[in-house]
Amino acid sequence: MEGVILLLEDEESVNRGVSFALERAGYQVYACGSICEAQRALETYRPQMLICDLTLPDGNGLDFIEKVRKARSDLYILCLTALDSETDYVRGYGAGADDYVAKPFSLSVLTLKVQAYFGRNGKAEKSVLSFGKIRVSVNEMRAWKQDSELLFTKTEWRLLLLFVQNPNRILSKSQILEALFDAEGDFVEENTVAVMIRRLREKIEDDPARPQYIKNVRGIGYVLRI
Protein backbone atom coordinates (compact mmCIF):
# COMPACT_ATOMS: atom_id res chain seq x y z
CA MET A 1 0.00 0.00 0.00
CA GLU A 2 1.49 3.34 -1.03
CA GLY A 3 -0.08 5.55 1.62
CA VAL A 4 -3.09 5.83 3.91
CA ILE A 5 -4.91 9.17 3.93
CA LEU A 6 -7.73 10.45 6.11
CA LEU A 7 -9.84 13.07 4.32
CA LEU A 8 -12.05 15.33 6.45
CA GLU A 9 -14.26 17.44 4.17
CA ASP A 10 -17.97 18.09 4.68
CA GLU A 11 -18.72 19.37 1.16
CA GLU A 12 -19.85 16.22 -0.61
CA SER A 13 -18.71 17.12 -4.13
CA VAL A 14 -15.22 18.10 -2.93
CA ASN A 15 -15.02 14.97 -0.77
CA ARG A 16 -15.89 12.74 -3.73
CA GLY A 17 -13.55 14.54 -6.12
CA VAL A 18 -10.52 14.44 -3.81
CA SER A 19 -11.18 10.81 -2.84
CA PHE A 20 -11.46 9.74 -6.47
CA ALA A 21 -8.29 11.60 -7.54
CA LEU A 22 -6.16 10.21 -4.72
CA GLU A 23 -7.49 6.66 -5.02
CA ARG A 24 -6.78 6.75 -8.75
CA ALA A 25 -3.21 7.81 -7.88
CA GLY A 26 -2.85 4.66 -5.76
CA TYR A 27 -3.60 5.82 -2.21
CA GLN A 28 -6.03 4.38 0.30
CA VAL A 29 -8.43 7.13 1.32
CA TYR A 30 -10.82 7.11 4.28
CA ALA A 31 -13.29 9.94 3.74
CA CYS A 32 -15.18 11.62 6.58
CA GLY A 33 -17.65 14.48 6.72
CA SER A 34 -17.40 15.39 10.39
CA ILE A 35 -14.90 15.65 13.22
CA CYS A 36 -16.70 12.89 15.08
CA GLU A 37 -16.21 10.48 12.16
CA ALA A 38 -12.59 11.58 11.70
CA GLN A 39 -11.71 10.94 15.34
CA ARG A 40 -12.91 7.34 15.04
CA ALA A 41 -11.09 6.86 11.73
CA LEU A 42 -7.81 8.18 13.18
CA GLU A 43 -7.87 5.52 15.86
CA THR A 44 -9.03 2.73 13.55
CA TYR A 45 -6.91 3.23 10.43
CA ARG A 46 -3.79 5.06 11.71
CA PRO A 47 -3.37 7.20 8.54
CA GLN A 48 -0.07 8.74 7.52
CA MET A 49 -1.69 11.94 6.24
CA LEU A 50 -4.69 14.05 7.25
CA ILE A 51 -6.29 16.32 4.65
CA CYS A 52 -8.58 18.57 6.64
CA ASP A 53 -11.11 21.25 5.84
CA LEU A 54 -11.27 24.06 8.39
CA THR A 55 -14.99 24.85 8.30
CA LEU A 56 -16.83 21.79 9.58
CA PRO A 57 -20.40 21.10 10.76
CA ASP A 58 -19.49 19.88 14.25
CA GLY A 59 -16.51 22.00 15.21
CA ASN A 60 -13.53 24.10 14.23
CA GLY A 61 -10.95 22.48 11.97
CA LEU A 62 -8.08 24.36 13.60
CA ASP A 63 -9.06 23.10 17.05
CA PHE A 64 -9.22 19.56 15.67
CA ILE A 65 -5.79 19.90 14.02
CA GLU A 66 -4.29 21.17 17.27
CA LYS A 67 -5.73 18.21 19.15
CA VAL A 68 -4.54 15.71 16.55
CA ARG A 69 -1.06 17.22 16.44
CA LYS A 70 -0.62 16.76 20.18
CA ALA A 71 -1.48 13.08 19.82
CA ARG A 72 0.31 12.38 16.51
CA SER A 73 3.54 14.26 15.89
CA ASP A 74 4.30 11.97 12.91
CA LEU A 75 1.07 12.72 11.01
CA TYR A 76 1.36 14.99 7.97
CA ILE A 77 -1.50 17.52 8.01
CA LEU A 78 -2.63 19.38 4.91
CA CYS A 79 -5.43 21.97 5.17
CA LEU A 80 -8.14 22.59 2.60
CA THR A 81 -9.62 26.01 3.18
CA ALA A 82 -11.43 28.91 1.60
CA LEU A 83 -9.68 31.14 4.13
CA ASP A 84 -6.57 32.50 2.44
CA SER A 85 -5.42 35.54 4.39
CA GLU A 86 -1.97 35.68 5.96
CA THR A 87 -3.55 35.52 9.43
CA ASP A 88 -5.38 32.32 8.54
CA TYR A 89 -2.14 30.70 7.36
CA VAL A 90 -0.32 31.73 10.53
CA ARG A 91 -3.11 30.29 12.69
CA GLY A 92 -3.09 27.05 10.72
CA TYR A 93 0.64 26.53 10.99
CA GLY A 94 0.43 27.49 14.64
CA ALA A 95 -2.16 24.77 15.21
CA GLY A 96 0.17 22.19 13.68
CA ALA A 97 -0.62 22.08 9.95
CA ASP A 98 2.23 21.24 7.56
CA ASP A 99 0.79 22.74 4.37
CA TYR A 100 -2.20 24.58 2.91
CA VAL A 101 -4.28 24.34 -0.25
CA ALA A 102 -6.68 27.26 -0.74
CA LYS A 103 -10.08 26.67 -2.35
CA PRO A 104 -10.83 26.56 -5.19
CA PHE A 105 -7.89 24.27 -5.97
CA SER A 106 -6.71 21.97 -8.72
CA LEU A 107 -7.00 18.25 -7.99
CA SER A 108 -3.79 17.76 -9.97
CA VAL A 109 -1.91 20.17 -7.71
CA LEU A 110 -3.30 18.51 -4.58
CA THR A 111 -2.36 15.07 -5.91
CA LEU A 112 1.19 16.22 -6.67
CA LYS A 113 1.55 17.63 -3.15
CA VAL A 114 0.47 14.27 -1.74
CA GLN A 115 2.81 12.40 -4.08
CA ALA A 116 5.69 14.69 -3.15
CA TYR A 117 5.18 13.99 0.56
CA PHE A 118 4.97 10.23 0.20
CA GLY A 119 7.86 10.30 -2.28
CA ARG A 120 10.09 12.12 0.21
CA ASN A 121 8.91 9.97 3.11
CA GLY A 122 9.36 6.72 1.24
CA LYS A 123 12.82 7.62 -0.04
CA ALA A 124 14.12 9.36 3.06
CA GLU A 125 16.88 6.77 3.46
CA LYS A 126 17.59 6.53 -0.26
CA SER A 127 18.54 9.91 -1.63
CA VAL A 128 20.39 8.33 -4.59
CA LEU A 129 17.97 6.86 -7.14
CA SER A 130 19.06 4.66 -10.04
CA PHE A 131 17.41 3.37 -13.19
CA GLY A 132 19.21 1.81 -16.14
CA LYS A 133 22.43 3.75 -16.73
CA ILE A 134 21.15 6.80 -14.84
CA ARG A 135 21.96 7.69 -11.23
CA VAL A 136 20.33 10.70 -9.53
CA SER A 137 21.41 12.23 -6.22
CA VAL A 138 18.37 14.14 -4.96
CA ASN A 139 20.22 15.79 -2.07
CA GLU A 140 23.13 16.99 -4.21
CA MET A 141 20.92 17.84 -7.22
CA ARG A 142 23.34 15.95 -9.48
CA ALA A 143 22.91 13.12 -11.97
CA TRP A 144 25.18 10.79 -13.91
CA LYS A 145 24.90 8.56 -16.95
CA GLN A 146 27.26 5.72 -16.13
CA ASP A 147 30.41 7.65 -15.05
CA SER A 148 29.65 10.91 -16.87
CA GLU A 149 27.91 13.69 -14.98
CA LEU A 150 24.85 15.20 -16.68
CA LEU A 151 24.20 18.93 -16.66
CA PHE A 152 20.65 20.27 -16.55
CA THR A 153 18.91 23.61 -16.61
CA LYS A 154 16.70 24.41 -13.60
CA THR A 155 13.57 23.41 -15.50
CA GLU A 156 15.13 20.18 -16.79
CA TRP A 157 16.19 19.25 -13.25
CA ARG A 158 12.67 19.85 -11.93
CA LEU A 159 11.25 17.71 -14.70
CA LEU A 160 13.71 14.89 -14.03
CA LEU A 161 13.00 15.03 -10.30
CA LEU A 162 9.25 14.93 -10.95
CA PHE A 163 9.67 11.73 -12.93
CA VAL A 164 12.08 9.96 -10.56
CA GLN A 165 9.84 10.74 -7.58
CA ASN A 166 6.86 9.29 -9.48
CA PRO A 167 8.25 6.24 -11.30
CA ASN A 168 5.84 4.18 -13.41
CA ARG A 169 3.11 6.78 -12.81
CA ILE A 170 1.54 8.51 -15.81
CA LEU A 171 1.86 12.30 -15.56
CA SER A 172 -0.43 14.44 -17.70
CA LYS A 173 0.77 17.60 -19.41
CA SER A 174 -1.22 19.69 -16.95
CA GLN A 175 0.38 17.91 -13.98
CA ILE A 176 3.82 18.55 -15.41
CA LEU A 177 3.06 22.22 -15.97
CA GLU A 178 1.66 22.69 -12.47
CA ALA A 179 4.68 20.98 -10.91
CA LEU A 180 7.03 23.29 -12.81
CA PHE A 181 5.23 26.47 -11.68
CA ASP A 182 7.80 28.28 -9.56
CA ALA A 183 7.84 30.95 -6.86
CA GLU A 184 8.72 33.71 -9.30
CA GLY A 185 5.54 33.03 -11.26
CA ASP A 186 7.33 31.71 -14.36
CA PHE A 187 5.03 29.33 -16.15
CA VAL A 188 5.92 26.96 -18.96
CA GLU A 189 3.45 27.11 -21.85
CA GLU A 190 1.68 23.84 -22.54
CA ASN A 191 3.02 23.55 -26.08
CA THR A 192 6.59 23.47 -24.73
CA VAL A 193 6.09 20.28 -22.69
CA ALA A 194 7.10 18.13 -25.67
CA VAL A 195 10.21 20.29 -26.14
CA MET A 196 11.21 19.86 -22.48
CA ILE A 197 10.69 16.11 -22.71
CA ARG A 198 12.79 15.96 -25.88
CA ARG A 199 15.65 17.90 -24.27
CA LEU A 200 15.59 15.66 -21.21
CA ARG A 201 15.58 12.56 -23.38
CA GLU A 202 18.59 13.85 -25.30
CA LYS A 203 20.54 13.86 -22.04
CA ILE A 204 19.45 10.59 -20.44
CA GLU A 205 18.47 8.29 -23.31
CA ASP A 206 20.86 6.35 -25.55
CA ASP A 207 18.49 6.92 -28.47
CA PRO A 208 16.05 9.83 -27.84
CA ALA A 209 13.99 8.78 -30.85
CA ARG A 210 13.41 5.37 -29.22
CA PRO A 211 13.28 6.25 -25.53
CA GLN A 212 13.90 3.52 -23.00
CA TYR A 213 12.95 5.50 -19.91
CA ILE A 214 10.55 8.41 -20.53
CA LYS A 215 7.73 7.12 -22.71
CA ASN A 216 4.69 8.75 -24.31
CA VAL A 217 1.26 7.57 -23.23
CA ARG A 218 -0.88 8.54 -26.20
CA GLY A 219 -3.53 11.11 -25.38
CA ILE A 220 -2.59 11.26 -21.69
CA GLY A 221 1.00 12.31 -21.02
CA TYR A 222 4.33 10.74 -20.11
CA VAL A 223 5.68 8.09 -17.77
CA LEU A 224 9.12 7.11 -16.48
CA ARG A 225 9.36 3.32 -16.88
CA ILE A 226 11.75 1.72 -14.40
The per-residue pLDDT for 38 is: 95
Low-confidence ranges of the chain (pLDDT < 70): 1-2, 83-86, 120-127, 139, 181-190
In CATH, what number is assigned to the domain containing residue 199? 1.10.10.10
Cβ atoms of 27 and 3 closer than 8 Å: yes
The per-residue pLDDT for 182 is: 46
Judgement on whether residues 33 and 57 belong to the same structural domain of the protein: yes
Judgement on whether residues 51 and 97 belong to the same structural domain of the protein: yes
User: Model's pTM, two decimal places?
Assistant: 0.54
The per-residue pLDDT for 184 is: 41
User: 218 lies in which domain range?
Assistant: 128-224
Q: What is the pLDDT of residues 49-89, one digit of tens each?
A: 999 998 899 999 999 999 999 888 889 999 988 766 667 77
Judgement on whether residues 85 and 134 belong to the same structural domain of the protein: no
Judgement on whether residues 58 and 23 belong to the same structural domain of the protein: yes
The per-residue pLDDT for 219 is: 84
The per-residue pLDDT for 123 is: 45
**Considering only CA atoms, which of 209, 211, 207, 194 is closest in space to residue 159?**
194
| Alpha-carbon gap, residue 57 to 65, rounded angstroms | 15
Judgement on whether residues 17 and 95 belong to the same structural domain of the protein: yes
Judgement on whether residues 219 and 115 belong to the same structural domain of the protein: no
The per-residue pLDDT for 155 is: 85
| Alpha-carbon gap, residue 164 to 42, rounded angstroms | 31
The per-residue pLDDT for 147 is: 81
